[in-house]
Each structure stands twice: as structure tokens, then as C-alpha cells.
Structure 1
Amino acid sequence: MISRQLSTMSGTVPPIVSVVPSRALVDEKIKVLVENLPPGSPVTLHSLHHSEDRDYWEAYGHYVSDHRGTVSVAKDLSFGGTYTGKEAMGLLWSMHPVPGSRKGLRLRKRDVCSPMLVNISVHSGHIAEGFRQQPPLASALIERWYMAPGVQRISIKETGVRGTLFIPPGPGPFPGLLDLWGGGGGLLEYRSSLIASHGFASLALEYLSSDDQYPLFSIIEAAFSILKDHPQVIPERVGIFGLSLGSILTIFFTAESAVIKPFCCVCISGSHIYPSGKMLLMCAVTCDGRKLNKVRLDENNHHIWRDVGRAIFHTPSNQVDVGKVNCPMLLVNGLDDQNWPTVESAEDMAEKMNAVGKGHLLTRLEYPDTGHLIEPPFSPHFRATNFIVEATKEKVIMLWGGQTKPHSDAQEDSWRKILAFLQHHLYSSLTPKVKL
């Protein structure tokens, strides 16, 4: 527990902010407690994070101390701020860029070997601005980690494969997961490192490459083989975890690949469209350099791609034959996904798999008022963020959808169920595979 006493409101004993645990994984809950306040005092709890991109993110809640002069974020009501009600983790999931920040920001951890540092402070009165100008009554600095102690981080660079392998602590071997992010590209490690912290060897793969020497499909197949053949990985217990474009590719490889035979799959915000060649879903949004008329703009000029997905999805020749899927698959989707028709796709997949007697392999999670970017729990909600369209390199602001509170609830609930799904299928010796 880390706490700094800075000043007093009244009396001789200074207020104290305590956070337990002060050092934890990002998916662990914390308890924030303020003590030594005058009874019935209005105070504001504030969180502040300075990101690796040098942007400031904050959240705050308005509280009134009880008869003992304490405020418990988990037990007491927030009467206003970026969240309201009893929300133990509101100071984290309701974070947003401070006023005056750049538009379209998204908070993502790049260096998983260092923690996210969050300063939690208490201020006199109910305030909504000027936190950095007003000295706090007390504050505490906490560490939020994506990588648990003992997790190994191994850089992979071979046969066109660029990624990072995370191995859990302990003797092993462990079940494995190939981690495929979306069409924004880049090497993102934070989900894989968190997965490894829960006992699964995970390979975060950068599969969108401008190097035509290594085609997209070959990169993913080679990465799957590298993971499966690692001495710390159980070769017959390797799955795939995809988001957005990564989920589209996961579904395709699961149904069609002669090389990749996953034991189970998790697909967040994807669909069963057929990725032809070096497809890069983003290229489907342009035609001869011109945007298709299916791309819509909202009142804020945010790009909405749902109708683009519908146009592709409703052409039967563009659909993967999901009747060929032979492993358990978990689909996680938001009912307010403004980027892609993921729910419609899930319904069609269920219908087609039921028709061939494989409906039992499919598990669906759907969440109201939840958008496309379903992240690990207590991550901020991003309704619209900057995005570079692969085909044109144009920078736009993409509308992902969702409302902050229900989206955040969905992130917490889905992560718990994803881990349970992976634990059940990858660690259980009783889970039968469908005969080919």
C-alpha cells in the first residue's frame, strides 16, 4: 500500500488515501479508501495517468464522507463525475483524455515490461476541472501490470514471422494461443502478456506486413507452427484468439486451413467473410482509390463501416463455410458495434453450424450498448478513435460504438468468461474433439 499525506482539511490528522493492492495486474480489482476526513465532507476522488504517448487521461467521482470521515470507492456512491453509483473500478474504466487533448486518442500499453502508473488523489469539494492546479489533500500512486512476475518475454523473428512469445512462470509445458489483433496493424503485446499471466503461452503476432516476400496466410501458418513446436507449449493444445480482422482470419483458418488446426478459438467482433489473397479487410473499403458509398459519416464525421461489412457479408461467395469448423469457438460481440455487422454474422454462423450438427461447438456472448473494441477489463471505453485506412493510408476517426458504463461491464464479464472458456478447453483432458 502506497500513500502520501499532503495536507489537511481541518483538525490535526491529515487525510490518507490507501489503495489495495497498490501493485496488481490490470484485470485485478482494487479497493480505494480515504480516511481522516471530517464527517459529511464533500470530496472528489481523481485518477490521472500519463500515457506512453505523452497524453494525460483522467477520471473522477464525487463523494461525501461518512460519519467516521471515510470514503470507500467500492461501497459508497459517487454522486457525479465520469461515473456514478457504487463502482469500485470507476476511477479506471471511466478514464478519458483530459480537456484540450488531441482528438481520437486510444490508450494502449506499448511496453509491457513496465507498469501503467496511475495517481489517485482526493480533493476538497465536488470539482470537475483544474485538478492539476489544485493541490490534493492526499494521493497514492498505483502500478497496473499486464505481465505478472515470472512471465518470460521472447522476441520472435524468423521465416517472415515477427512477434513476441510470452511464457507463463513455472515448469510447463503450457497450452498455447496465437494472438491476432485487428486491421490497425503493429505489434501489440498487452493482451498476450496478460493471457500468459493466466497460464497460457501466447504469441502476439504482427501479421500485417508490407513485405510481399511473405504472404499473409504464410505468416500466420508459420507463426502457428512456431508456437506449436515450442518446447514449453503442449502441441495438441494450441488455440487462436482474434479481434476484428484477427477474428475474421481466425474463423477462416479454423474452417479452411490444412496447416492450422486449433484446439479452440476466441473471436471478438469478427465475422465469417472470406479473406481472399492479401485481403486486409481495410482494402475492401476502397475501390480504385475511391471510397465505396457504403461508408457513412455520422454528425461528427466519424466513419461508420457497418454497411460495408453488410455488402460483403451478404454475398454468399464471400462467406467462409463454417460448417467445416471442428473445434469449440467463443464469439464475443457488442450489440452497438458500429464498425462491423458482427452480431448478424454470429447469427448466420450459428444457423449454418446448427444445420450440420455442429451448433454445440459455438458459444456466443452478446452485450447491449457495447461497441467493437472489447478490451481486457477496466480499460477505458473508446467509442471513436483515430484509424489509418490501410488501402489509402488516410487518417480518419472510426466510430466503434458502445456506451461507457455498459461497454465497461461487458469487458469485465467477457474477460472472465473468456478465461474460463480457455481454461476449460485447453486445460481439461475431458474435452473431446469432433471427429474429422
Structure 2
Amino acid sequence: MSPTIPPILSVHPTRALVDEPFKVVVENLPPASPVTLHSLIYSEDKDYWEAYGHYTSDHRGIVSAAEDVSVGGTYTGKEPMGLLWSLRPEPGSRTGLRFRKRIVTSPILVHVSVYSGHITQGFREQSPLASVLTERWYMAPGVQRIEVKERGVRGTLFIPPGPGPFPGLLDMWGGGGGLLEYRSALLASHGFASLALEYFSPGELQTADLQLQYFESAFNIVKDHPQVIPDRVGIIGLSLGALLALHIAAESKNIKPHCIVCISGHHLFPFGATIAAAQKDQEKELKTRYDENNYYIWRDVRLPIPSDPAEKTDVRKIQCPMLLVNGDDDQNTPAVEAAEDIAQMMRSQGNLHLLSTLTYPDTGHLIEPPFSPHFRATNFIKPFIKEKVIVLWGGKTKAHSDAQEDSWRKILAFLQHHLYSSTTPKARL
């Protein structure tokens, strides 16, 4: 490389929401020069995550991640956002890691660098040709973050910028428990007041956490907020959160969600709903199987889908539009089989028109917002018995990442249509 004309690396925008694409361009390289584009994140859990692609500059001495092909690295092909979605723990890291942003009031800091040659390791021990620090945010400027501890409910409410009022959402994650705010913060950045609900908190497990009243109270906290349109409140949930969304929409006599989004869920847990019932269900899971890596496979526990209506939530009662988002390589939940049974049940009631389903090939359980790293297997502590295992979630990185990008766009379109529009026909996906 010429010492007199240093390479110039640019990333635009350098500050953006996590679901916004960026453009990475290197200029002032010699023509036909092999280089490596590299991204590095130091997580809140004090682990390094990296991704990289191998490129060759064109006759002008330029490399563009959006226009050029990576011939090697953690991703290949023309992948503008490969430096994010193919992130993985640096070699030598702890096993079973999962990247999650827990402090949403600060950005994810991504160091993007360009190195001479096609290299595959030791990035932090080498000097890059150029580097740029970029910020990826879940919270847009002006989003309000409000801690909630009222009516027995624990969580965080995010209010979009502007005068409002806004449609509302109750946002529920899975059986790992605790409080996860990043999806709600991002939903608020797109115009939806969203309550990230805490339940199954480590050390705080309460009987109320699986009782319908707890979730009804949380829904009403959203509905009653002065900046929320009270008759435009929906529910979004992943895994156990999706199961809860179906159960609430079917069984609650006190609240009526305007629409629901269920990601990687099922309707096969007819809790009424108590911790005892959940513990009894957990006993079945002790009979599960492991793959060749000794990773825990959960999906078979609930197969085959029972024919007895008493063994599942009666989704025939649901009267609001709902969107099911599933991956056909989900190794944690039989979401695809459950979706087929849900469709049959709703068809029998004549309300199949309320159901929209998205099924993605080679996609696993953890369908996150766009450009989030793919996790095929991660550490997990099972509720109630507190056993630590590595759970197999499934999915192939490229296909799973494509599904995250497509499904997020369609989830936002579904919510926009049903919570902002004055009509509520089937979602236009």
C-alpha cells in the first residue's frame, strides 16, 4: 500500500438504528488489492464478537461491501450487512454465548476496520489500514424510557417521540426470564408505545408470573397511559411470550388485544395458569433428547400435536388479527406444526381470515430484529429446575439472517396496518 496516499474507510451512516442498513466503502487502495473488512464489538458481557469478509479492490482502488463480493470470511457473496449479521464470538471465547444489548440507553459500538491481505485471525494483534467507530441504537432520539413497578407489574415502557397518542404493544420474551428491553425500544423508535414485560426474573419467581391477571394488568398499564390510543393495543411475543399472547387473546375476558404477533410459539400449554402447572410440564422435558454435541433439543417434547382440545389453548376463540412467524428448522419449539394446527382450529370456527403465517426455510427459533447475529446454540438455564444446558435453537446463518430482515419488515407492516389503520382485514404481507 502506498504510504503517501492512505486508504480511506467510510461507513454511512455512522450513527443509526440497529435495523437500518449502512454502507461500507474503502477508497485509495491500489487496484486489484486484496483486503479484509472486519467488524468488532466488545459486548456488555465482556466478550469480543467479530465478522469479516475478503475483498479485492477494483480498477479504481475501491471496495464497496454493498456492491462487491466477499470471497471468504464469516460471510461470502454480495452482503452489504454481512459485517453485522455474521458476527460470532472471537476464537477462544467462552462456549454458548449469545449477544444481547441490555442497556438500551447506550449504543452498540461497532469498530469497522480494513486490513491488508486476506486474513482470518489475530485481528486485534495487527494494525489496520483504517478504522471507523459506528453506533447502532435501539432507541431513536426522543424515545422515552419509563420504568414500571405498579399494579404488581414489573417492566419498562417506551414511548415514541412526539405528542402522540400512539398505538400500544405489550412485548413478551421467552422462558429464559428477566427483563429484555431492546425490542420494545426499537418498536417505540418505529412509533409504537411498547411495554417490555418482566417475568420469570431470576430470584424473583412469583406465582403471579404465570397467572392471566398479571398479563392483563400489564396490558392495562399500556392501554391506560395518556399517550396511548386505548383501543389500539396489541401483543407481541417470542417463544413462551408467543404462547402467552395466544392464551391471553383466547381466554381473557377482561382485555381484547387489537392484534397479536407470535414469533416461534405454539398453543400447547393449557395452563390456567399456575407455577405448579408449569412445573408439571417441565417434568416432561426431562425426557428430551440431545444432539451429537450434547445440545438440548426441546421441540420433540410437544410432538405429536395433541388432538384433544383440552391439551391446548382454544385459539378458535381469538377474534383479532394475528401473525405467526416461524422457522422450519426451529429445534426448540414445534412452531411450524403448531401453526398448521392453529390454522385448522381457526378454519373450523370460520375465522381463518384473521390468521397470517410466515414460515422461513433453514431458520431457527431465535428470530430477532434485523442484522442481529444468528445463534444456533447457546447457554440456557431451564426455569424451575435451574439446570444449565446448551440449547439447540436451529437455523443456518445466512438463511436465518435473511428471515430476520424480511420478517421484521413484515411485522412492522402488520402492526402499522392494524394499529394505525382504521380497518382490520387480513394483513397485507
TM-score by length of 1: 0.94
> Shift of residue 285 of structure 1?
5.5
Aligned pairs for 1:75-90 within 5 A: 75-90=67-82
- 2:157 and 2:244 map into 1 onto residues whose CA distance is 20
- 2:145 and 2:195 map into 1 onto residues whose CA distance is 10
> Shift of residue 309 of structure 1?
2.0
Tell me the equivalent position of 2:189. 197
> Shift of residue 357 of structure 1?
1.2
Does residue 257 in structure 1 map to residue 257 in structure 2? Answer: no
Aligned mate of 2:111, from 114, 119, 144: 119
Residues 185-218 of structure 1 deviation map (CA, whole Å, 9 limit, x = unaligned): 0100000000000000000000225133665322
- 1:141 and 1:360 map into 2 onto residues whose CA distance is 47
> Shift of residue 174 of structure 1?
0.3
Letter in 1 for 2:224: D
Does residue 104 in structure 1 map to residue 89 in structure 2? Answer: no
CA contact (8 A) 1:174 1:233 kept: yes
Tell me the equivalent position of 1:271. 266
Aligned mate of 1:368, from 336, 358, 361: 361
> Shift of residue 325 of structure 1?
0.6
Tell me the equivalent position of 2:302. 309
- 2:364 and 2:285 map into 1 onto residues whose CA distance is 23
Tell me the equivalent position of 1:4. none
CA contact (8 A) 2:169 2:193 kept: yes
Aligned mate of 2:15, from 17, 23, 29: 23
- 1:280 and 1:372 map into 2 onto residues whose CA distance is 26
Runs of 5+ consecutive residues of structure 1 not aligned to the other structure: 1-8
Does residue 425 in structure 1 map to residue 425 in structure 2? Answer: no
CA contact (8 A) 1:282 1:389 kept: no
- 1:281 and 1:410 map into 2 onto residues whose CA distance is 34
Aligned mate of 2:240, from 220, 231, 245: 245
Aligned mate of 1:283, from 270, 279, 286: 279
Residues 61-95 of structure 1 deviation map (CA, whole Å, 9 limit, x = unaligned): 00000001010000000000000000000000000
CA contact (8 A) 1:42 1:64 kept: yes
Tell me the equivalent position of 1:231. 226
Letter in 2 for 1:45: L
CA contact (8 A) 1:285 1:292 kept: no
CA contact (8 A) 1:183 1:282 kept: no
Tell me the equivalent position of 1:174. 166
Aligned mate of 1:328, from 316, 321, 329: 321
> Shift of residue 313 of structure 1?
4.6
- 2:291 and 2:111 map into 1 onto residues whose CA distance is 35
- 2:209 and 2:277 map into 1 onto residues whose CA distance is 18
- 2:170 and 2:208 map into 1 onto residues whose CA distance is 22
Letter in 2 for 1:328: P
- 1:231 and 1:392 map into 2 onto residues whose CA distance is 41
Does residue 342 in structure 1 map to residue 311 in structure 2? Answer: no
Tell me the equivalent position of 2:27. 35
Letter in 2 for 1:162: R
Runs of 5+ consecutive residues of structure 2 not aligned to the other structure: none
Letter in 2 for 1:92: L
- Runs (4 or more) in structure 1 with deviation over 3 Å come to 212-216, 279-286, 311-316
CA contact (8 A) 1:63 1:71 kept: yes
The alignment partner of 1:132 has SS state of helix
